[in-house]
Structure 1
Amino acid sequence: MTPEALAAFLHDHIPLSRAMDVRVVQAGTDEVVLEAPLGPNINVHGTMFGGSAATLGLLAAWSVLHLRLQAEGVANQLVIHRTEMEYLLPIAGTARAVARLDGVDWAGFLHTLERRGKARLKVGAELIFDGAVVAQLAGEFVAIVER
């Protein structure tokens, strides 16, 4: 899927992504990179609202898993089960969220999904601003096979 196609999908199916002005920088089956500007995501302190930062990381992590499952032809419903966010530094401008599938047990995940029709996988995302990691998201997603 191209970055433009992923952006359209997110904006059409997750309207909050449009309100946040989320842009897709890279859309791959191993890595997704999203950006969101400060303007529509600003808080009372002039920095990015924590909920917007968490949503940006969550969208990146969900997207990389969605794209990989789609590429492998697995029809599924993909939902977040649990998420944890650590805020390290304020975000005073455009934030970039990078989610990768490096180091995940993809084969084990697929095996469980095929056998049980449902499987969980932990995917992380880093938020970057001004060249530094400013937040980290850890998400546990559940995929349910559509039959």
Structure 2
Amino acid sequence: MFTISTPKSEQELNDYFHFRWQWLREQWGFPEGSEKDEYETVSEHRVILNPSGEIVACGRIHLNTAEEAQIRHIAVDKKYRRKGVGHLILGALEVVARDLGAKRTVTNSRETSISFFSSCGYSIEKEAPVELGKLKRKHMFKLLVDNNVLVLHPQWCKELQDTWHEKIPITEHMGITLHQYTERTIETRASLNKNINLHGSMFAGSIFSQATLTGWGMIFLQLKQKEMQGEIVLGDGNIHYHKPITMRPRAICNIESVKARFDLLKANKKCPIELTVDIHDGDVSVASFTGKYWVIPEKKEA
């Protein structure tokens, strides 16, 4: 039985880099240390361990942009090749990419591994820079699609995501994305790497911002559904933190928590709305946000 692990301790990281050098650099005569580059500290690293706790495969992933993640340095011990271990490490890295909010993954594949990546859904996009001064490579990509995610009214959802990025540019830098909408529930995700503090957890201010935007997004989509318009503003917001976020930031707002006077908006008056947003780290509840918003009717032309 194999185990997916994240190297964290100094010894685990040393073993991880040694394994990477052993299978990706040693045979070409490059010294230890040559397997590292300037992206190590901003990357996510994963290893596959056998039942004895030995590394049998490794890989790394980092964001190129808010929507693109690059996979590099996949290596598999020769004794474990053609046993599904390569697919296991690649799948683990793609899970990380999705959690970071990436829409696609890319990799620069050596000619000997093109068939492997092709079998995993990757397509050749263009030529890639030669590696180690001698190894030809192809730039390959794969679009990430989560078939378990339900997104109703995709055009409205795209408009919401575009509105966030255009009018609140920091949302893109924070990696905040609309993950799911079902008319009764909205869920957003955020990138932990882009919002991490010196303690290795998510900034409290980032959690508050994600919660605020999730509530704002629920109102935006409800207005679309009711064929109503207005300017959404936050009047007041309170959040209670229970635990830190150290893995996967999620914010969820359910329609049952929304209390709104849409009849006032129909009468061209300000509409008060109260709602609750639950914050999770993966599946663990870590905070609760209560927001009081106003929808201000659009001014009618004289």
Q: Taking structure 1 as the reference length, what is the TM-score of the superposition?
A: 0.90
Equivalence for 1:137: 289
Distance 2:268 2:241 in 1: 35
In structure 1, the residue matched to 2:262 is 110
Secondary structure at 2:262's aligned position in 1?
A: helix
What residue identity is the alignment partner of 2:264?
A: T
Give the secondary structure class of the aligned counterpart of 2:207: helix
In structure 2, what is the equivalent of residue 52 of structure 1? 206
**1:8: Cα distance to partner?**
2.4
**Residue equivalent to 1:19:** 173
Q: Is the 8 A contact 1:84 1:137 kept in 2?
A: yes
Between stretches 72-81 and 26-35, larger displacement belongs to 26-35
Q: Could you tell me the percent identity over the aligned residues?
A: 24
Q: Whole-Å Cα distance in 2 between the matches of residues 135 and 18 of structure 1?
A: 22
**Corresponding residue for 1:100?**
254
Unaligned runs of 5+ in 2: 1-152
- Partner Cα separation in structure 1 for residue 257 and residue 192 of structure 2: 31
**How many pairs were matched up?**
145
SS of 1:18 mapped into structure 2: helix
The residue number in structure 2 matching 1:35 is: 189
Question: 1:65–1:129: structure 2 CA closer, same or farther, 3 Å change rule?
Answer: same
Considering Cα pairs closer than 8 Å and 6+ residues apart, tell me whether 1 or 2 has the greater RCO: 1
SS in 1 for 2:251: strand
Amino acid at match of 1:31: T
Give the corresponding residue for 1:121: 273
Q: Is there any run of 5+ residues in structure 1 with no aligned partner, and where?
A: none
Contact 1:74–1:145, Cα closer than 8 Å, also in 2: no
Distance 1:40 1:6 in 2: 21
1:30-55 deviations in Å (ceiling 9; x for gaps): 22100002111011211000000011
Whole-Å separation in 2 of the counterparts to 1:98 and 1:66: 15
Once the two structures are TM-superposed, the CA of residue 26 in structure 1 deviates from its matched residue by: 0.9
Residues 240 and 287 of structure 2 are in contact (CA less than 8 Å); yes or no, is this contact kept in structure 1? Answer: yes
Deviation of the 1:85 alpha carbon? 0.6
Deviating 4+ runs (over 4 angstroms) = none
Q: Distance in 2 between matches of 1:35 and 1:54?
A: 13
2:42 paired residue number: none
Does residue 1:82 correspond to 2:229, yes or no?
no
Query: What's the CA shift for 1:90?
Result: 0.5
- Helix, strand or coil at the partner of 1:133: strand
Contact 2:257 2:276 in 1 (8 A): no
- C-alpha displacement of 1:76: 0.3
Change (3 A) 1:11 1:68: same
Q: Matches of 1:115 and 1:82 in 2, distance apart?
A: 24
Secondary structure class of the residue paired with 1:29: coil
